[in-house]
Amino acid sequence: MQIAGKVVVVTGGGNGIGQALCEAFAKAGAAKVVVADLDQARAEAVAQSVGGAAFKCDVAKESDIEHVIEETERQYGPIDLFCSNAGIGGGFDPLSENAGGTSDEPFMKSWMIHVMAHVYAARHLIPRYKARGGGYFLNTISAAGLLSQVGSPAYSATKHGAVGFAENLAISHKAHNIRVSILCPQGVDTNMLRGIPKGPQSDDGNLSPEQVAQDALKGVEQETFLILPHPQVLDYMRKKTDNYDRWIGGMAKIQAKLRESFGAKAQ
């Protein structure tokens, strides 16, 4: 898909990767970039900078996503590309005393934002895409959805869920000319990365949001399902599937180092 002349929606577009995506799509000639974010002031600021439009949107609420879709199409025309980008970094516990946690809250909050937001976008756009002969979804996920996230069972589980849904979305609707890409970076220099405890993703070639957005743009233009801004992730994936037990052992060693490091700080 070429972005020039297209209507694009980006959730979580007020900061970080989302803001960089908005800027990249605008530079690529999008007819309209719609910035959707829980922080309306940030959405409006980014929209103003790219000549776009802004909506306040809590992606955990189906009604908010439906509103963004309906109003975008009413005001600016059919959506060509929907970027389900919003995410959170909650549920991190470097000591990982119990992977099951002590409450449902971090799991359910992550589930709604990392999985159901993608489901809601598909639920309300698939009928429209099918009626007009096609469309595109770009879902920002994470390398954690392909590998894992030491220190956050909730992040790991929901990002894996997001990958699984995107795979099925692509399989179910390929015949309808509906394309899907998943953007799976490791560490990206954003407020979210800076707000979580340091882990293996923190010192393995952190990229700028702008670089990740350029990789995403290229991936969409080439209609690539899996977009990996960090090329080393492909090697990690191969090692994981080549010998799952060895990979689990290696990740457990990383977890042990985190426990040692953060345990010492807590004393």
Active site residues: 155
Using CA atoms in the order 136, 73, 123, 29, what is the torsion angle rounded to 10 degrees?
Answer: 20
Q: Which residue has the tokens 């119990």?
A: 98
Helix axes 153-173, 117-132, angle to 10 degrees: 10
Output DSSP code: residue 115: I
Pairing outcome for strands 53-56 and 226-227: unpaired
Beta-carbon contacts of residue 34 (< 8 Å; ≥ 6 apart): 7, 8, 9, 10, 13, 47, 52, 53, 54, 55, 68, 72, 76
Residue 41's CB is within 10 A of a number of other CB atoms, namely 11
Token output for 50: 């790219």
Token output for 99: 């992977």
Report the alpha-carbon angle 182-168-64, nearest 5.
70
- Name residue 54's beta-bridge partners: 35
